[in-house]
Structure 1
Amino acid sequence: MRPRLKMNKNFSRDGTLKEWLFSQILMLFFRSMRRLPYNFRHRLIAALMKGPLGYITGYRKRALTNLKFIYPELSSKQLSNIANQALDNAGRTFLENMYPADFQAHNPNIQLWGEGLEDLLKAHSDDRPILFFSGHFGNHEAFRAALYRHGIKVGGLIRPMSNPYFDRHYQKTLLIEGKSGPVFLPGPQGTLSFYKALKKGATLVLLIDLAVPDGPSINFLGRPARTALTAATFAMKSNALFLPYFSMRNSDAVSFNVEIGKPIKHSDALTMTKQATKALELRIAKDPGNWFWIHRRWKYNSNFGKPADLN
């Protein structure tokens, strides 16, 4: 039986000695990285993720498995190139998100553009509820920083880290000195609080590419994937503006631009979710390296890992 540490009041739940030790090592790593010059430390974490860390964590293998599942027609070199871009982005994102104040200081003028920008600003000025949707794409901190410059605070539903000790540090990063909207934990109470805040006029985000065991099977990148209808359902019930954002890392790997997509008209939850999924697919097709291929999107798919039917 594994030894367990008793949580003190600073922690949210019990954890194991192994988890505590791992969190200490991880935070020591991040703090050491922070002592390095900003651009250098991000180049270093990207190189480590594309190299030894990608293999140790299994992220490289997972990314390649997902890529082969979706793009069986691509060569090994092409798949490896996309995997490297995804790992590069993931490494930089992990470090950027640990120190969001540093990130915002080095990215003061993130471009905000897109078909839905005018609709967004009008909805905000009218105090209308706004529900953004997106996927595991680029770095959401760029989106949050860009909107804050327009006086818009964005909140969302955040899954806690599996390691309770590291989660303590992670939760602190979500507030970034009052620049964030309300943040909620998953579960019945958190979801209800999320909906109530939205209905009162909050600006919130939900990701639509989460792996879920239930929900209808919707085509995503040519493969069926169980998909939650929560975002579309909440948007309709609260009369929220429902629109996509894509927080994209530029080719220099340091700067960002944020696209605000065209709002989706309210109809029914399934139709709206299919339209939202299509918007995400189109963005990934244009820039596959910005999507988190390390994400286990199809883990509830019974055909996962089998050759694609290209007919």
Structure 2
Amino acid sequence: MPKARTEDEIGWTDRLANAAFLAVMGLARVLPYQHRIPLVGWFFSRILGPVAGWSRRARENLALAMPELPEAERVRIARGALDNAGRSMAEIYSGDEFTARIRDTDPLSGPGVSALQEAAEHDRPVILGCAHFGNYDAMRAALAARGWPVGALYRPMNNPAFNAHYIPAIRAIAEPIFPRGRSGFAAMLKFLRGGGMLALGFDQFVHDGTRLQFFGLPSRTVLTPAELALRYDALLVPIAGVRQPDGLGFRVEVGAPIAHSTPEEMMQALNDDLERQIRARPDQWFWVHRRWKKRDR
């Protein structure tokens, strides 16, 4: 893992990008919540996404995974995915307002809710299979509102100036959170062994991952969530914070626990479940990820 840069080592481009982000969020926070969230979504989809090249990359990935779609539909989905990403970022920085809305609606649903309840009552470890779909933090807020111990592994951003406020923002939604790295991983395992519910992402390309199928294409997938579930007799549960049609509310869908078998079979089941979710609501997944590397295809 690259060594974190110190304050003196932050480049001017990182400082400029961070200042621009803070300016947008500062302007948005002046607005009421119901206007703030769509404003940042609009900024991501109409300004930041095209300038950063995210819109083009999202369309390219859509053409690869769903070639049957017409170009106009790929443009619409890509724009919606960036709008969702912007809304999610605004929600993270809305702190108490965001978590209060989740707490007041208690949005947990699906066949896996009873399994989570039983696991919490018996201190059984749980691995929550998460993706960049809808809003990942809606799930953490919903479980924490039930009083269940939910933790998450996170990757610090490359821009240390951004980390200075981003990490406290995600920590405010629910704790504990664990940074990738030796010390963070050790604390994460201790939390899991103690009966915690640990959120782990699985929807990004991993260079040393196993080649599994995603949208009928080979993509290297991390096996860690399944391996930890097998090692610690933990439930492996797919979960997603699905954005509702009003653009502000959520339904946190908890899937049935995945049967223990081999790590490859279990992670393929998570890939299949995520693909089902994406095909139903394609504009809620972050299509900007380089999920399919050319050399693997």
Given the two structures, how large is their TM-score scaled by the length of structure 2?
Answer: 0.92
Instruction: State yes or no: 1:123 paired with 2:116.
Output: no
Determine the structure 1 residue equivalent to 2:7: 7
2:226/2:236 contact within 8 Å kept = yes
2:141/2:174 contact within 8 Å kept = no
Determine the structure 1 residue equivalent to 2:214: 220
The verdict on how the C-alpha distance between 1:275 and 1:6 changes in structure 2, with shifts beyond 3 A counting, is closer
Q: Which whole-Å deviations, capped at 9, do the CAs of 1:65-113 have from their partners, x for residues lacking one?
A: 1101111111111112211221110111111112232212344214211
Give 2:110's match in structure 1, choosing from 107, 114, 125: 114
| Structure-2 separation of matches of 1:26 and 1:196 | 35
Give 2:250's match in structure 1, choosing from 239, 252, 256: 256
Give 1:156's match in structure 2, choosing from 149, 152, 157: 152
State the shift of 1:6 in Å. 5.9
1:139/1:249 contact within 8 Å kept = yes
How many residues align? The count is: 292
2:219/2:296 contact within 8 Å kept = no
Q: Which whole-Å deviations, capped at 9, do the CAs of 1:127-184 have from their partners, x for residues lacking one?
A: 11111002110001211221122111321110111110110101101221xx623211
State the shift of 1:292 in Å. 0.9
Determine the structure 1 residue equivalent to 2:36: 41
Per the alignment, in what secondary structure is the counterpart of residue 175 of structure 1? helix
2:15/2:161 contact within 8 Å kept = yes
Following TM superposition, the consecutive aligned residue runs of length 4 or more in structure 1 with deviations greater than 4 angstroms are none
Per the alignment, in what secondary structure is the counterpart of residue 36 of structure 1? coil
| Structure-1 separation of matches of 2:281 and 2:163 | 31
How do residues 179-258 of structure 1 correspond to structure 2 at under 5 angstroms?
180-258=174-252
CA RMSD of the aligned region, Å?
Answer: 1.8
The verdict on how the C-alpha distance between 1:21 and 1:289 changes in structure 2, with shifts beyond 3 A counting, is closer
1:114/1:259 contact within 8 Å kept = yes
| Structure-2 separation of matches of 1:7 and 1:82 | 38
Instruction: State yes or no: 1:53 paired with 2:43.
Output: no
1:139/1:248 contact within 8 Å kept = yes
| Structure-2 separation of matches of 1:268 and 1:6 | 42
Moved more, 14-23 or 276-285: 14-23
Per the alignment, in what secondary structure is the counterpart of residue 149 of structure 2? coil
| Structure-1 separation of matches of 2:294 and 2:236 | 27
Instruction: State yes or no: 1:79 paired with 2:70.
Output: no
State the shift of 1:50 in Å. 2.2
Determine the structure 2 residue equivalent to 1:99: 94
Give 2:58's match in structure 1, choosing from 42, 59, 63: 63
Given the two structures, how large is their TM-score scaled by the length of structure 1?
Answer: 0.88
Identity of aligned residues (%): 36
Q: Which structure shows the bigger proportion of residues in helix conformation?
A: 2
| Structure-2 separation of matches of 1:296 and 1:97 | 24
Paired letter, 2:252: V
Per the alignment, in what secondary structure is the counterpart of residue 7 of structure 2? coil
Per the alignment, in what secondary structure is the counterpart of residue 105 of structure 2? coil
